[in-house]
């Protein structure tokens, strides 16, 4: 009888296996059953089997073991479920970066088991007739709550709630069984043995399934996905050696083809959050959730005045992973902090005015990458989800302000994002999800009509390109998805796109395209030269010669990635090495997995996937043979141009540091004279010692290109491998060359105490605006120097905004009260840029301390855009009363401020 304690645990695993089987048997390809029905049926059946199996096992336990063992045994049985929930919490954006994140899953498992054990013992001891009835009511309430949760968004919540409901029912049953334990038959012990055997057989069962069956379960089934992704070990892969062996020099990455149509003076970019591809023509069908009657204006406008694109892919299925790479035209797996340039800053430097009308989400401190989207935008308008009607008057005011010059305008719409908006926020309206989506589309249609009419009224329509796009789609029941983020299926990553050009006839483009192409298209429209760092290409050339390219997209946290290539789509689950392939031309709903049926197509799509994201092969790169192959393949390039395979090799080299590959890349840097090749080597391998040495050597050997190469080093943040050599060169430079060198030193944070004498000498020279900005950014390392402190204080009043911003950052280091007047000017002058005013908040706090809190509250009342920075100041001072006053001013900050108040109250 020693195996009896495993009975509940075995039965729970058995129920999970059954649920997986039901998920497979009742896949979305079965007609007549909706996603909710599938989900409910599979979990309901799992609960039934778990209940009957565990009941019989507990009957044996009740007759053989001590009653107090009930709580610990069930707590142990549920501990894997708590572990899954804890592990999911540990994957959060901020939490995952903490050193203690791995412990969360184990703390949750232990805490959950102890809590269940204590609860079980308490209920066993409570000898009251009504306890069993209360437990059954509790189970009904838990399952009722479970039914209201979106299955595609919170699968682990379903898992936990389902088993807690089962636990309540089983506890009631156990109490009944214990009361009549003398009458139990002896055969019940064999059920316990069976449950224990099922526990042991579960892993074997999983790995004996066919790969196609595992793929179906893993990529479609909520239970299977979470069990395997959280508990399964990563599967070793072996693709790289073959890929490298067969690698040729690849296809040159040429610039976007020149457009053969007139360019626009202005761009109005209408970016809609959470808009499905089939919400608008030409992809809408009679079966789409959005009906023709929901968007009468857009139906006519898109089909009569716009170029629309049928197959468009976002970079990711979640906003904070989709928009940052979109605005820099980089792949979703690449860091926006290290690749590309801020869109607003790029246009600002080109002399194009910029303004943004956005939701307050983009000012919240949750994601630095979304806050950074606003860098370089000259003017801002902000609205909340509760007051989305404000979008129209704000946009009208901005258009009036900028009508006499060239502009790029980004207007972001949150109406389609759950819970929806139609002249009021639809949360709490108890309306079906699809109905809210339709109502939100009706509001969006009216709003777009008003904005287009405003363009015409101001005489801007004939010189403004209107671009309508979305950051990702939305699941509305397809593939068991009722939101966005978890997967890379079409409803989440495929989006609409329309480019409405003055005096250009309507057209439908069926060739593939992606949001990664948006910024190159904007540049083309505005007459700016192609940026060689952009991964996308302008779509204007496609209006004349449509062309298919390969597009990469990812689910939230990259647990599922995909590529689209010539109508075929390959979905990949990296941890378990699972593939699914769909021919979207014949299977647009992604119901028939074709992977394994055509080796040539599978291999080509795999190649395209890994070329797009070499980091998927990171575990294979460390192999010494593969490192040698990478170095050999880099050696076959003469550096005359950039190709897709050269980028692939450089990214492989970046993914796994190696002296062998670094030296091969350094040799390529030495022999190439192509700035684009140099740029890619430097940006990809910026932190490598060998690359820094090769760049300094090249600068010394080619003085005619010194400024160009130094700026490349600064742009890529290449490590300065020999600071003494750099200081000797800087001491002899002036004007633009000096500015370039100082920028390089600044971005790499290379200046330490040994640089002080050189900097003291430089501040005595007449400096350009650019050189001054870079020099000021170096000063924070030298807080004890009175001369540099004075220089920084003077820089607070400099005519250039970038210089003032750098000086304001340094105030927190120098704390020189002589600069208070200049800091107050930056803080209170609303004509100054947002970044300057934000830095002024913290500089003012550094100078005034607690004495400045009340004036900052007045600043917040006068300038809403600074409210979040002032929240940070009040939190730093643990000033709960002023936080409450700020909350009264701006109820939209309730979530952020309430959380901070609770945190501060606990510390007290």
- Is residue 419 reached through a cis peptide bond, with omega within 30 degrees of 0 on the bond before it? yes
pLDDT of residue 209: 60
Q: What structural domains and CATH numbers belong to the chain?
A: 264-547 (3.40.720.10), 850-906 (no CATH)
Closest by CA position to 234, among listed 577, 554, 623, 570: 577
pLDDT of residue 339: 81
Tokens representing residue 516 in the block:
């990664």
Residue 870 and residue 856 in contact, taking contact as beta carbons nearer than 8 Å: yes
Rounded CA-CA distance 456/451 in Å is 9
Tell me how far CA of residue 854 lies from CA of 509, 871, 887, in angstroms. Answer: 58, 12, 15
Helix/strand/coil for 379 = strand
Residue appearing with tokens 């010394």:
700
Q: Which long-range contacts (CB under 8 A, 24 or more apart) does 603-606 make?
A: 604/565, 605/563, 605/565, 605/568, 605/570, 605/581, 606/239, 606/570, 606/579
In DSSP terms, 464 is beta-bridged to 266
Terminal-to-terminal C-alpha distance of the chain: 52
In DSSP terms, 271 is beta-bridged to 412, 469
Residue appearing with tokens 């002296």:
659
pLDDT of residue 505: 85
Residues 6+ apart with CB under 8 A from 573: 215, 218, 219, 229, 559, 560, 579
Cα angle for residues 680, 553, 487 (degrees, 5° grid): 150
Rounded CA-CA distance 473/484 in Å is 7
Q: pLDDT tens across 278-328, in order?
A: 999 999 999 999 999 999 999 999 999 999 999 999 999 988 899 999 999
Residue appearing with tokens 């769909």:
582
Tokens representing residue 411 in the block:
């207007």
Q: Evaluate the CA torsion angle 252, 258, 259, 260 in order and state its sign.
A: negative
Cα torsion 336, 338, 341, 344 to 10°: value is 50
Whole-model pTM? 0.75
pLDDT lower than 50: segments of the chain: 1-14, 23-50, 52, 56, 93, 151-153, 184, 192, 196, 199, 223, 230, 259-260
pLDDT of residue 89: 65
Tell me how far CA of residue 372 lies from CA of 60, 63, 337, in angstroms. Answer: 62, 65, 9
Could you tell me how many helices (H) and strands (E) the chain has, helices first? Answer: 38, 12
DSSP state letters, 23-58 = HHHT-TTSTT--HHHHHHHHHHHHHHHHHHHHHHHH
Closest by CA position to 409, among listed 452, 441, 371, 473: 452
Tokens representing residue 874 in the block:
């009040």
Residues 6+ apart with CB under 8 A from 487: 152, 219, 317, 475, 479, 481, 555, 560
pLDDT of residue 663: 95
pLDDT of residue 93: 47
Tokens representing residue 538 in the block:
């302008």
DSSP state letters, 615-647 = GGGHHHHTSHHHHHHHHHHHHT--SSS-BHHHH
Helix/strand/coil for 882 = helix
Tokens representing residue 602 in the block:
């599978």
Residues 6+ apart with CB under 8 A from 412: 271, 272, 273, 356, 357, 358, 359, 362
């Amino acid at each position: 009888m020693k195996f009896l304690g495993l009975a509940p645990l075995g039965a729970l695993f058995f129920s999970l296996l059954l649920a997986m089987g039901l998920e497979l048997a009742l896949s979305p390809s079965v007609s007549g059953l909706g996603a909710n029905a599938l989900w409910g049926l599979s979990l309901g059946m799992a609960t039934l089997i778990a209940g009957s199996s565990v009941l019989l096992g507990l009957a044996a336990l009740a007759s053989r073991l001590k009653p107090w063992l009930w709580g610990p045994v069930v707590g142990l049985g549920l501990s894997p479920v708590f572990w899954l929930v804890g592990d999911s919490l540990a994957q959060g954006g901020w939490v995952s970066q903490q050193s203690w994140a791995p412990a969360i899953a184990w703390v949750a498992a232990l805490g959950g088991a102890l809590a269940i054990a204590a609860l079980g013992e308490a209920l066993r001891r409570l000898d009251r007739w009504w306890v069993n009835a209360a437990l059954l009511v509790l189970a009904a309430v838990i399952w009722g709550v479970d039914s209201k949760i979106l299955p595609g968004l919170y699968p682990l919540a379903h898992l936990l709630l389902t088993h807690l409901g089962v636990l309540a029912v089983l506890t009631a049953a156990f109490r009944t069984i214990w009361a009549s334990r003398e009458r139990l038959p002896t055969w019940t012990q064999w059920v316990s043995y069976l449950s224990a055997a099922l526990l042991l057989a579960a892993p074997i069962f999983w790995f004996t399934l066919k790969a196609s069956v595992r793929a179906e379960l893993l990529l479609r089934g909520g239970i299977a996905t979470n069990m395997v992704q959280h508990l399964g070990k990563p599967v070793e892969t072996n693709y790289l050696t073959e890929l490298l062996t067969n690698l040729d020099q690849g296809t040159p990455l040429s610039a976007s083809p020149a457009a053969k149509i007139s360019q626009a003076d202005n761009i109005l970019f209408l970016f809609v959050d959470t808009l499905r591809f089939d919400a608008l023509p030409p992809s809408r069908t009679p079966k789409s959730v959005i009906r023709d009657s929901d968007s009468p204006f857009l139906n006519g406008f898109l089909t009569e005045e716009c170029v629309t694109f049928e197959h468009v892919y976002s970079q990711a299925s979640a906003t904070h992973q989709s928009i940052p790479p979109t605005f820099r035209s980089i792949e979703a797996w690449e860091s926006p902090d290290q690749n590309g340039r801020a869109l607003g800053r790029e246009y600002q430097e080109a002399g194009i005015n910029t303004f943004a009308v956005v939701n307050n989400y983009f000012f919240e401190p949750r994601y630095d990458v979304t806050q950074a989207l606003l860098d370089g935008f000259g003017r801002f308008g902000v609205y909340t989800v509760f007051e989305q009607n404000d979008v129209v008057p704000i946009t009208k005011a901005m258009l009036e302000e900028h009508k006499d010059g060239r502009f790029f305008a980004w207007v972001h719409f949150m109406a389609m994002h759950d819970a929806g908006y139609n002249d009021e926020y639809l949360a709490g309206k108890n309306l079906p999800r699809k109905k809210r989506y339709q109502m939100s589309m009706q509001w969006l249609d009216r709003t777009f009509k008003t904005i287009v009419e405003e363009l015409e009224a101001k005489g801007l329509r004939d010189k403004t390109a209107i671009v309508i796009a979305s950051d990702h789609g939305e699941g509305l029941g397809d593939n068991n998805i009722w939101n966005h983020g978890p997967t890379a299926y079409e409803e989440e990553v495929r989006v609409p796109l329309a480019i409405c050009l003055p005096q250009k006839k309507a057209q439908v483009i069926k060739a593939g395209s992606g949001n990664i192409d948006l910024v190159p298209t904007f540049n083309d429209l505005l007459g700016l030269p192609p940026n060689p760092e952009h991964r996308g290409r302008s779509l204007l050339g496609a209006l004349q010669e449509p062309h298919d390219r390969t597009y990469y997209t990812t689910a939230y946290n990259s647990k599922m990635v995909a590529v689209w290539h010539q109508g075929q789509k390959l979905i990949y689950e990296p941890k378990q090495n699972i593939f699914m392939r769909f021919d979207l031309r014949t299977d647009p709903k992604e119901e028939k997995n074709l992977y394994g049926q055509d080796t040539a197509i599978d291999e080509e799509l795999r190649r395209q996937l890994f070329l797009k994201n070499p980091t998927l092969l990171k575990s294979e790169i460390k192999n010494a043979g593969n490192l040698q192959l990478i170095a050999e393949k880099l050696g076959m390039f003469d550096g005359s141009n950039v190709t897709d395979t050269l980028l692939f090799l450089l990214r492989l080299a970046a993914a796994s540091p190696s002296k062998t590959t670094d030296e091969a890349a350094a040799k390529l840097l030495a022999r190439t004279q192509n700035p684009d090749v140099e740029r890619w080597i430097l940006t990809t391998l910026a932190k490598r010692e060998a690359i820094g040495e090769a760049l300094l050597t090249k600068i010394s050997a080619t003085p005619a290109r010194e400024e160009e190469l130094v700026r490349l080093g600064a742009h890529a943040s290449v490590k300065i491998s020999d600071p003494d050599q750099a200081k000797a060169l800087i001491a002899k430079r002036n004007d633009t060359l000096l500015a370039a060198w100082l920028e390089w030193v600044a971005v790499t944070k290379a200046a330490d105490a040994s640089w002080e004498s050189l900097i003291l000498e430089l501040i005595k020279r007449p400096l350009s605006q650019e050189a001054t900005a870079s020099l000021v950014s170096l000063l924070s390392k030298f807080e004890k120097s009175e001369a540099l402190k004075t220089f920084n204080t003077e820089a607070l009043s400099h005519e250039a905004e970038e210089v003032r911003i750098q000086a304001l950052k340094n105030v927190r280091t120098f704390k020189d009260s002589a600069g208070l007047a200049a800091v107050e000017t930056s803080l209170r002058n609303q004509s100054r840029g947002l970044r300057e005013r934000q830095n002024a908040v913290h500089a003012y706090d550094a100078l005034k301390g607690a004495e400045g809190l009340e004036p900052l509250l007045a600043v917040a009342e006068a300038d809403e855009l600074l409210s979040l920075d002032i929240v940070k100041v009040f939190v730093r001072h643990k000033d709960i009363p002023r936080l409450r006053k700020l909350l009264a001013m701006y109820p939209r900050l309730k979530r952020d401020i309430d959380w901070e108040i609770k945190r501060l109250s606990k510390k007290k």
